[in-house]
Amino acid sequence: MNSPHTVRTGPIRYATAARFARPRPVPAEDTSPPSEGICPQPPSRLEALMGPPPGRHPQSEDCLHLTVTAPAAPGTGRPVLVWFHGGGFSSGAGILDWYDGSSLAAEQDVIVVSASYRLGALGFLLHEGVSEGNLGLYDQVEALRWVQAHIADHGGDPANVTVFGQSAGALSALLLLQSPQAAGLFGRVILQSPPLSIATRTPAEARETGRIFAAHLGTDLRTASAEELLAAHRRTAADHQRRTGNSLAPPFGPVRGVPPLPAESGTPAFGGHAPDMLYGWNADDMSAFPEGPSDRGSVAERTRRVYQEPLRDLHERWERQGGRAFGYRLDWRPPGAPHGATHCVEIPLVLGTPHAWRHAPMLGDLTWAEVDAAGRRVRAAWASFARTGDPGELPAPLVALPR
């Protein structure tokens, strides 16, 4: 819904894709209306924190849509922020009202794009003769190509694009920096709570997961119904957790060495130079996930291992390659929220509406006015970074990390 200060356009279909095929840009002559669908998916494992998804969207494989939110006042050359949502590469959609960019666009005079991509087996299955893997990443590349081609029509500057994302969306942004297909499509990244240890898996691991998934499905992957695919996903996820002992890693996700990713991981960079990066984590990120055999200890200990230490190492590698990196920790613990500064709690500070977040247990007893007051400061830092590559002095509730 448009506010008096912004225009939110969408959903816009940015690409189409047959099942287990790469996306194709929408031809100019295609005037068919978008489906408003979201990728078929199981319930989010984080509903206990975020609440149920806002709005009613049909689940559909015609799901490659995005929204564009721009200030209502005419303008050109505005910085562009492209959002990729989290959800463990298994759930979520960019067109949900959780990710409405109206406040960010109106306050900071920027353009906000929020894109959906394929999830689970539909987006990341690797199975010989059926799916090449990493199709969800190809979707994201196609969304960025749409931005390059069309964002000027909405007042945005295609030469000043920042990709920002949370959790799996942050991992996506980091991986796209390594993809030749994404080179030149964006120049800065904001990484909110990326669990770097689960960013990718090897082709051998992905093929084994694909074999298990196909066995659980027991029918032709190309013609199975969405319900059958989701039932097989649930069984594969349970097997994956038993085999790995990891409560955080999803069964399907990006595969290293499978296009559009290179074979070797390293410091993400375009042309040998790391771009500007703003990154951080929430002090109690791991309170969202149960202990597992491979990750035991207090919430603080687990958060340090999964988020703080890997991100500190990334920061050091980034600066060795000449890039600027700005780090933060979010210590924001809403009163009455049992999980503290948990995974996803920063999202309402950046995106979304009071209606979309009204049933979010992670916000505890706070009023929306209190959430919005903290959010205004965070949104100003995010927009400053998108505009200049420097967030400035990070405000509370963010704690700036030493550089």
- pLDDT for residue 21: 98
Instruction: Give the whole-number percent of the chain exceeding pLDDT 90.
Output: 86
Residue 306 has pLDDT above 90, yes or no: yes
Q: What is the mean pLDDT of residues 43-65?
A: 93
Pairwise CA distance, residues 303 & 52, whole Å: 25
CA of 75: how far to CAs of 15, 192, 299, 301, in Å?
Answer: 27, 29, 46, 47
- pLDDT for residue 68: 98
Residue 303 has pLDDT above 80, yes or no: yes
Taking alpha carbons only, the member of 3, 7, 34 closest to residue 153 is: 7
pLDDT digits (tens, 9 = 90+) for 148-172: 999 999 999 999 999 999 999 999 9
Residue 7 has pLDDT above 90, yes or no: yes
Residue 267 has pLDDT above 80, yes or no: no
Mean pLDDT, the chain, whole residue set: 94
Give the pair of three-digit tokens for residue 91. 């759930």
Taking alpha carbons only, the member of 131, 163, 92 closest to residue 259 is: 131
Count of CA atoms in the C-beta half-sphere (13 A) of 24: 10
Do 42 and 226 contact (CB within 8 A), yes or no?
A: no
Give the pair of three-digit tokens for residue 1. 């819904």
Q: What is the mean pLDDT of residues 292-301?
A: 86
Residue 18 has pLDDT above 70, yes or no: yes
> Which range (31-45, 139-153, 217-231, 349-363) has the least confidence?
31-45
Number of C-beta neighbours around residue 316 at 10 A:
11
Residue 340 has pLDDT above 80, yes or no: yes
Residue 266 has pLDDT above 70, yes or no: no
pLDDT digits (tens, 9 = 90+) for 61-106: 999 999 999 999 999 999 999 999 999 999 999 999 999 999 999 9
Query: What sign has the CA pseudo-torsion 170, 172, 176, 181?
Result: negative
